[in-house]
Each structure stands twice: as structure tokens, then as C-alpha cells.
Structure 1
Amino acid sequence: MTILDLCAYLGLGAVGAAALNMLLGMMIALRYSPLRQWPHRRMNIFALHQWTAYAAVALTLTHPVVLLFLHEPHFRVIDILWPIHSPLQPKLNLAGAAALYLLLLVLLSSLLRTRIGRPLWRNLHYLVFPAAALFFLHSILTDPLLKDGHPDLLDGGKVFVEVSSLITFAAAAVRYRLRSTGFRATPASTSN
């Protein structure tokens, strides 16, 4: 396994963890109950949401760090932290870095939720949606071989990212549509 392979696998793991985390977060926001609905079992989806967030952040942080060990092209620490002058695909790398920084802001606000208050936490938590857009943009359009900047969009890893992004954006549309009622049972109308 090469360094580029490791970087790609870490990136794919980050995409999977982030997509799963967003789906779980949307289920929590819509008051989904795994006891009332499928699978009719007691499950702590909040804890699962937290752990997938930690996994997404850890994988997203380590994904660019392994590029420091690549000999050609040579990435510097500044190219990882602020990739506007990175050797290849600087704009797409900047989109990935921006997604990471937004993700870190959301995670930090979640850890400080009781101190900063629920209204501010909630507003900051909505940053996951632009973070996801930047995350998927970076993941789909970057060239994992670091060659010519033209990725194969039908490559297995790219198809995984494309499907994950479609599922995530479809779930976000459903979440927006159900924002007022969620998965709660609607009361039966009473007739006079």
C-alpha cells in the first residue's frame, strides 16, 4: 500500500463516517425512535452519532497529514493547514480544508453545548450542511493519483462518494420537508 492509497482510504473512511453521522443527526433532529419504528429495539442513536462524529473528524484530520510523507509532489505543513498554495489542486484542497474547519467548529460547539447555550449551538450545528457540500465537492473532484487533476468519476472510490453525497442530500431534503412534524405521530383529528 502506497501513501496515496492510505490517503485515499482515509478520505473514503471520512466520507463514510461523515455521511453516516449526518444521517444519524437528521434522525435525531426528526425525533426518530428505533424503539417505535424499525428495528423496534432500544438503540442509543445519540451515542452512535457522537462516535461517528469523532471518527469523521479523526479520519478527516489524518487524511491530509499522510501527504507530508509523500516525496513527489512535496507537501509542506502550510499546504495542509492552508492549502491555497499546495502543489496540486489548491482550490479543491482549500474546499477540503474549509470543510474540516467547519467540522471542527461544529464538534467544538457540541462539546461546549451547555456552556454556549442551545440556541448558539443549534445555529453552529447547521454548519454541517455547507461543510458536507465542501466535503463532497473536494472528495469527488480531487485526483487521488495526484497526476493531472482529472479524476475518474466512475472509479469505485468516487462512486462511493457520489452515492454517499446523493443519499446525504436526499436525506437533508427529507429532513427539511419534515422539519415541523418529524417522525412523531400526528394526532388524530377529532370530529364534532
Structure 2
Amino acid sequence: MNTTALWDFGRGSGVVALVLLTVSTVLGIATRSGRPAPWLPRFAVTELHRNVSLLAAVFLALHVGLLLFDPYAMLRLFDLVVPFAGRYRPFWQGLGTVALDLLLAIVVTSLLRHRIGRRTWRAIHWAAYALWPVALFHALGTGTDSFTPWFLTIAVLCAACVVGAVCWGVSTRTPLEVSR
């Protein structure tokens, strides 16, 4: 595979991962709201959230794996674990490392949910609310397509979906639910 293809597939898988993380975040908010979403029953939203989240993890793994072999990105294994140590746009790449580390923690604890207990899982799962904006800022800061009209449209739509879901989720809570 030539380096242009690696770069293109690496970028493309990153964009798909961002869109899937957005869908996962929206579905997670819908699940957490405590009532069924207008389009699906609650159990279906939960299952869809789980499956979309795993698919997002697969595309993130593709994104990172492809860019690891791309000479332009200059990623090292070290950069996948330690944030802000990369050679290419270190701050923005570091945000990607933070997002990867958060996603790994969420996926691993979700797979071990029955062994670690619901309380521990839930505490770690709250990191998902940090994961999405960190991933969005990573994409905006490090992506070579960051300020193209098509990518800005995707980024704005992703942000609008998450903000809309947060507003919907907050509006559905009663004072008793908020205090739980």
C-alpha cells in the first residue's frame, strides 16, 4: 500500500470514528436520560449505543494503526500511550492520544463491567463525556482537512447533534432524577 493510500485511509477512518463517537455519545445521552427515545425503545437504544461504540473503537484502531505506518504522520508506539510527545503537531496529536486512552479505559471497563461492579464502571464511563470533545478538538487541530468545507460541515453537525442531545437529556429530567 503506498503512503498516499495510508494517509487517505488513516484520515478517512478518523472521520468515520468521529462520526461514530458522535452517534455513540448521542445514544449514550438518550440511554442515560431515563426515558425511551422517540425513535426506538430504551433497550434498543442501549444495544445500538453498545454496538456503535464498539464500531467506533474499531475505526479508531484502524485510524491509529494506519497512521502508525504512514511516514507523514510520524506516529510512534510511544505516542499512542503518552500524550503530547508526538513529533507532528504535538498538542493536537496529544489530544488524540488522550481520546484513545479514554476510549480504551471505557471499552475495557465496559467489557469487565460485571466483574468490576456497576458503580466503578459508571464512574469510569463518565469519561465518555470528556472523550467526545477531546476527539473533536483533535480532529480540528491535527487533521489536514480540518478547515475544508466538507469537514467543517461534519464537525458542526456532530457538535449540533451532541448539544441537541444534551439539551434533550437535561430537559427530560425531573428534580428528583437530577439529585440521584
| TM-score category, normalised to shorter length | 0.7 to 0.9
Pick from 161, 173, 189 the counterpart of residue 155 of structure 2.
161
Larger Rg: 1
Number of aligned pairs? 173
Deviations 1:132-156 (A, max 9, x none): 1211110122232xxxxxx652431
Deviates more, 1:82-91 or 1:130-139: 82-91
Q: Identify which range, 10-19 or 58-67, moves more after superposition.
A: 58-67
Cα deviation 1:13-54 (Å, max 9, x = unaligned) = 1011111111111111123335xxx44779722221111010
1:177 Cα offset (Å): 4.0
Q: Which moved more, 1:71-80 or 1:122-131?
A: 71-80
In structure 2, the residue matched to 1:176 is: 170
CA spacing shift, 1:5–1:71, aligned 2, 3 Å: same
- Contact 1:139 / 1:158 at 8 angstroms: preserved in 2? no
Greater shift, 94-103 or 108-117, is seen at 108-117
Matched, 1:118 2:118: yes
TM-score scaled by length of structure 2:
0.82
| Structure 1 pair 76–130 and aligned structure 2 pair: CA distance change class (3 A) | same
CA distance change for structure 1 residues 97 and 152 in 2, over 3 Å: closer, same or farther? closer
1:28 aligns with 2:22: no
> Partner of 2:138 in structure 1?
138
- Does structure 1 retain, via aligned residues, the 8 Å contact 2:80–2:100? no
* Secondary structure in 2 matching 1:33: coil
Q: RMSD of the TM alignment (CA)?
A: 2.5
How far the C-alpha of 1:101 sits from its partner, in A, is: 1.0
SS of residue in 2 equivalent to 1:54: helix
CA pair 166-72 structure 1, distance change in 2 beyond 3 A = same
1:45–1:4 distance in 2 versus 1, CA, 3 Å? same
Structure 1: unaligned runs, 5 residues or longer: 145-150, 183-192
C-alpha change, 1:133 and 1:23, in structure 2 (3 Å) is same
The unaligned stretches of length 5 or more in structure 2 are none
Q: Distance in 1 between matches of 2:119 and 2:154?
A: 35
Q: Counterpart in 1 of 2:65? A: 65
Identity score, percent: 22
CA distance in 2 between partners of 1:125 and 1:83 (Å): 20
Alpha-carbon spacing, 1:121–1:60, altered in 2? closer, same or farther (3 Å) = same
